[in-house]
Amino acid sequence: MNTPAGMGAAGHPLVGWVVDAQVDFLRPDGRLYVRDLCDDSDAGATQIVPALEDVVGWMRDRCAVVVYTGDWHGHEDPEIDSVAPDPEAGTYPPHCMGRSSDADERAGAEIIGEIRPADPLILPHDGGVADAERTARRAVEGRLPVFVQKARFDVFEGNAACEAFVGALVAALGSSTTFVVAGVARDVCVAQAVDGLIERGYDVAVVRDATWGLGLEPEEVTLERWATEGRVVTVSELLS
C-alpha cells in the first residue's frame, strides 16, 4: 500500500480503534478471560493475539491516530458484581480494576504487552468536553496514540467525553474518516463500540479475525449486521 501514512487506499483518513485488549480479557489467567461461555472447549481470545499484533502494527503505519479503549473500573461501578455476576444481565466479576487501590488488580487493566502503546495520551473516564477536544487535537497533530478509559462496557456511556472526542477527531481529519476496529469482546464491548460509531453516522470496518466473543450473540449474526451497516474485513485483506 503506497498511500500516505494516515490515509486509506482512496485517500480517506483512517483511525485505528482497538477495543479492550487488556490483560484481564486476553490472558487465560485474567480475571475475565474472553471465551465462549457456552462452550467449554473454546480456547478463547488468546488465539487472536498474533492477529492483533499484525493489525495494530498496520494501524501504527497506516492510521492517522490509533485509539485504545479499556475498562477502567472501580468496585462501585454498576457492571461490577463480586457476589452474583450475571453476564446476561450485564454484570460481571471484578476485572480491569484501573481505579483499584490494589496493584495486582490494577495490573489486569493494562493493555497486553505485545501491543501496548508507549506513553499514550489519556482521556480519563471522568473527562469532559475540553479534555476530549484537547486530546483529539494533540493526537492528530502529533500522530499520538490515545487510551480512552471507560467505567462501563459501552465506551459512549462509560466515558461521557468519548462522543466529543470522536467528533473532534473527525472534524480534524475529515468527514470521510474510517474507523478500523478490532478487539474484545465481540458481542459486548466491540459490538457497543461498532454499533455506536455506526449509529452516529461514521464509516466503520471491523477486522473479523481480530475479535473474539463470549457466545452471547452468534458470531455470524453480529458479522452479518456489521457487513450490512458497515464493512467486515479479514486480517489478510487489511494487510494486502
Percentage of the chain surpassing pLDDT 90?
Answer: 90
Mean confidence (pLDDT) of the chain: 94
CATH code for position 204: 3.40.50.850
pLDDT of residue 3: 47
In a domain, 236, yes or no: no
State pTM to two decimals.
Answer: 0.94
In a domain, 239, yes or no: no
pLDDT of residue 203: 96
Helices (H), 82-218: 103-107, 129-142, 155-158, 162-173, 191-199
State which amino acid sits at residue 163.
Answer: E
pLDDT digits (tens, 9 = 90+) for 31-45: 999 999 899 999 999
pLDDT digits (tens, 9 = 90+) for 66-116: 999 999 999 999 999 999 999 778 898 999 999 999 999 999 999 999 999
Read off the pLDDT band of 178 (50, 70, 90). Answer: very high
In a domain, 85, yes or no: yes
Check if the beta carbon of residue 55 is closer than 8 Å to that of residue 21. no
Length of the chain: 240
Find the domain containing 141 and state its range: 15-217
In a domain, 9, yes or no: no
In a domain, 238, yes or no: no
Mean pLDDT across 221-232: 96
Count up the domains in the chain and report the number: 1
Strands ordered across the beta sheet of 178-184: 121-123, 146-150, 65-71, 14-19, 178-184, 203-212, 231-233
In a domain, 187, yes or no: yes
Mean pLDDT across 208-214: 97
